[in-house]
Structure formats: C-alpha cells, structure tokens
Amino acid sequence: MSIEIRKISKTFGTFAALRNINLVVPDGQLTALLGPSGSGKTTLLRIIAGLETPDATDGAEIRFAQQNVAGIDVRDRRVGFVFQHYALFRQLNVFENIAFGLRVRPRQTRPPEAVIRGKVKDLLKLVQLEGLEGRYPAQLSGGQRQRVALARALAIEPKVLLLDEPFGALDARVRQDLRRWLRRLHDEIHVTSLFVTHDQEEALEVADRIVVMNQGQIEQEGSPDEVFHSPASAFVMNFLGNVNLFHGRVEEGKAVFGPLVMEAPAGPLSHGSPARLFVRPFDLDIQLQAGADGALAGRVTRLQSAGPVVKVDVTTAEGQPMHVELSHERARQLQLAVAQAIFVVPRTAHVFADDYAI
C-alpha cells in the first residue's frame, strides 16, 4: 500500500518542524527518511502514524493507497509502529506482547484463541524468537526486544510499517546483523515500510529509496545510488559521507578553483559568484607529476594503510588539508612517503553554488 503525503506542515510553537512536505512512498518498498536530528524526520513519521496532527493547511492530505487517512484516529489507521526504545509492555511476556493487537480487537472482529496462538507462533518464527515466548521484556537483549517490537507491530497486519530509528539503540555489532536481517525480512513480507535514521550508511545499505531531509524540508529523494552519486544539493553531498571542500568562483561559465576548472553548476550564475567544489576522498587520485589537466600541488602529511583503503592526508600548497583514499594497489605503485611532494587530481567532483552554509 503506497503512502502519499501532500502539503504537510507542522509547527511546534514558533518552530517549523515540517514545511510543506510532498512525498510518495511506493508500495511494497523499504524507504529511509534520512536526516540530522531536528530535520523533522521523526515528526513526519509520527504524523503518518497519526501520533501527531499536522497543521491544518488547505489541501493537506495523507493517503494510504488513495484513501485519505488524515481524519482517521491512530487506533483505526492500522499502522505498525516500532518505537525507538521499543515500548514493549513490561508486565506482559513476549507472547502476550505480540498477541496484544489481536486481543484488544472488538469481540466481533477478534480472532478465536486458537487463531491468535497460531499467528503469534508464526510471528515468533518469522523474527526468530521461538522458545522465548515466556520471557519478559526485561529479560531480553536489545536485539531481541527490537524483534519483539517488530513482531508485535506485524501482528495486526498493518497497511504500512513505520520504524523510528530501529537500530539507534543497539550497539554497533548487533546493528550490522539486524539491518541485514531486516532487509531479508522485508524481501519476505513486502509490506510498505518507512524507517527513520540519521545514519547514512544504514540508509544506503538497507533502503530501496532514500528521502533526505533537512530543516523540515525534503532535500532529495531517490534510490541509494542516485542520492549518493548524484546529490541534488551541497547538503546531501555533505551528509552522505566524507567530502573535501574547495571554495572558488564562477568565471566565464566555468567554475574555477585555483588550478582546477570545472563545469559550472546549472542555474543562473553570474560571473564572479562564489561556488563550492565537493570531492569524496575516494574520487581523488594522487600523481607524482602534474598532468595536462588541472592538479593541486601538495605534500603528504600522514599515511594510514591499516584498513580496506590507504588513507592519505595531504596539505595543499595553499595550506588546505585534504583527505585522499587510495586502493592498496595504487598506493604500492606510487611508493608514497610522508613529506613527499605530490599532485592531487579529482576524478569525479560536484560543484554547487555557494548558497548553503555548513
């Protein structure tokens, strides 16, 4: 079931948490709402669930598969919601936690006890918690609690599944395992899912689509490849991984950064207006001689080769520090040493007009 959001804003006092959000979450996909804290991603998720009410603006709509749910109470919206700290019922055991959504149904629609038992058993199997149905939340590990919360949300056969920072409260090791598991689980059950995260790695690894949010607005939405390789704004570029930043200006339709000359960004840019160049560390190459194209002269200040790539810290002739990542193979060819004079050449770079302050 797809989710469509139109013209949704939310203001807390004088603080605009969301400004005119328009978004379509496609049916059956796993979508990540990615952004720094305060970007409004959790507020958006809670509005979709019905836990918050959006501002009453004209044309504001939330649709689950064409049906406007804006006026429907959270009780009747049939969403699965996994809270950041799981909010498991501490007085109920795992079995009763999962069965809760079925047991509280009105008598006419409540399934018989045998059906409830069968369903909970199936869910326990799905989240790999068989044999733990008698435990209480306090007796479970963080990862187990998260899976109980997920099973509990799935028990009501939700139209959409919403997860608030699902891995935020777990330690790094468990997080890795669980996000792969969640991806596999989603491939199995295919319920439209939306999860909030501030961890770009998590979003890139797990999601089919990523919605990048900043200051209550959507900066970009697209597949992980799109947002990573073709960032729409300096913010997205900067948020989705490490970058090297150069300041320059537009001259005669080209963006000029010292010896580097790039295509100017699209849009009406006057001659002399400031521009920024973003290059990811692995999009930089090091050469021992200046080539035909523009290259930045610099000196190696630090080498770190323990790890999947060789990290080289360089200080340019202008005194700007840069981070370069080379493959081990390339590093062996170059035979780099600290204090060696080298040239840095960007392979891929992104140029943005200087309208965004980091």
Partner 1 sequence: MKRTPTDMPPVAATHVRENDPRWVRATLIAITVLFLGIFLALPLASIFTEALRKGIGVYLASFRQPDAYAAIRLTLLVSAIAVPLNVVFGLAAAWAIARFRFCGRNVLLTLIDLPFAVSPVISGLIYVLLFGLHGWLGPWLNEHDLQVIFAVPGIVLATLFVTFPFVARELIPLMEEQGSEEELAARVLGASGWQIFWRITLPNVRWGLLYGVILCNARAMGEFGAVSVVSGHIRGLTNTVPLHVEILYNEYNFVAAFAVASLLALLALVTLGLKTAVEWKVRRDRAESAASREGSTP
Interface positions with partner 1 (CB under 8 A): 49-51, 74-81, 83, 85-91, 100-101, 104-105, 137-138, 141-142, 145, 152-153, 155-156, 169-171
Asked if residue 355 lies in contact with residue 267, where contact means CB atoms within 8 angstroms, the answer is no
The smaller minimum CB distance to partner 1, of residues 153 and 207, is found at: 153
The smaller minimum CB distance to partner 1, of residues 192 and 244, is found at: 192
Closest CA to 200 of 245, 177, 174, 231: 231
Measured from the CB of residue 106, what is the shortest distance to partner 1 in angstroms?
9
Asked if residue 300 lies in contact with residue 322, where contact means CB atoms within 8 angstroms, the answer is no
Determine the angle formed by the axes of helices 113-126 and 172-189, rounding to 10 degrees. Answer: 120
The smaller minimum CB distance to partner 1, of residues 169 and 297, is found at: 169
Q: Indicate the SS3 state at residue 203.
A: helix
Measured from the CB of residue 136, what is the shortest distance to partner 1 in angstroms?
9
Residue 296 CB: number of other CB atoms within 10 A?
A: 23
The smaller minimum CB distance to partner 1, of residues 161 and 211, is found at: 161
Asked if residue 204 lies in contact with residue 183, where contact means CB atoms within 8 angstroms, the answer is no
Length of the chain measured in residues: 358
The smaller minimum CB distance to partner 1, of residues 99 and 250, is found at: 99
Measured from the CB of residue 107, what is the shortest distance to partner 1 in angstroms?
12
What is the Cα–Cα distance from 314 to 308, expressed in whole angstroms? 19
Closest CA to 258 of 232, 281, 290, 285: 290
The smaller minimum CB distance to partner 1, of residues 14 and 91, is found at: 91
| Cα 4 to Cα 23, 60, 65, 70, 71, distances in angstroms | 6, 11, 8, 11, 15
The smaller minimum CB distance to partner 1, of residues 111 and 294, is found at: 111
Measured from the CB of residue 314, what is the shortest distance to partner 1 in angstroms?
34
Residue 174 CB: number of other CB atoms within 10 A?
A: 16
The smaller minimum CB distance to partner 1, of residues 70 and 256, is found at: 70
Q: Label residue 244 left, alpha or beta by phi (over 0 means left) and psi (-120 to 50 means alpha).
A: beta
Measured from the CB of residue 156, what is the shortest distance to partner 1 in angstroms?
6
What is the Cα–Cα distance from 174 to 208, expressed in whole angstroms? 22
Beta partners for residue 162, in sequence order: 81, 194
For the chain, the first-to-last Cα distance in angstroms comes to: 37
Measured from the CB of residue 134, what is the shortest distance to partner 1 in angstroms?
17
| Cα 163 to Cα 81, 84, 109, 358, distances in angstroms | 6, 7, 26, 29
Kindly report the backbone phi and psi dihedral angles of residue 125, in degrees, each rounded to the nearest multiple of 5, phi listed first. -70, -40
Measured from the CB of residue 216, what is the shortest distance to partner 1 in angstroms?
23
Measured from the CB of residue 102, what is the shortest distance to partner 1 in angstroms?
9
Measured from the CB of residue 140, what is the shortest distance to partner 1 in angstroms?
8
Closest CA to 66 of 160, 1, 158, 159: 1
The smaller minimum CB distance to partner 1, of residues 138 and 339, is found at: 138
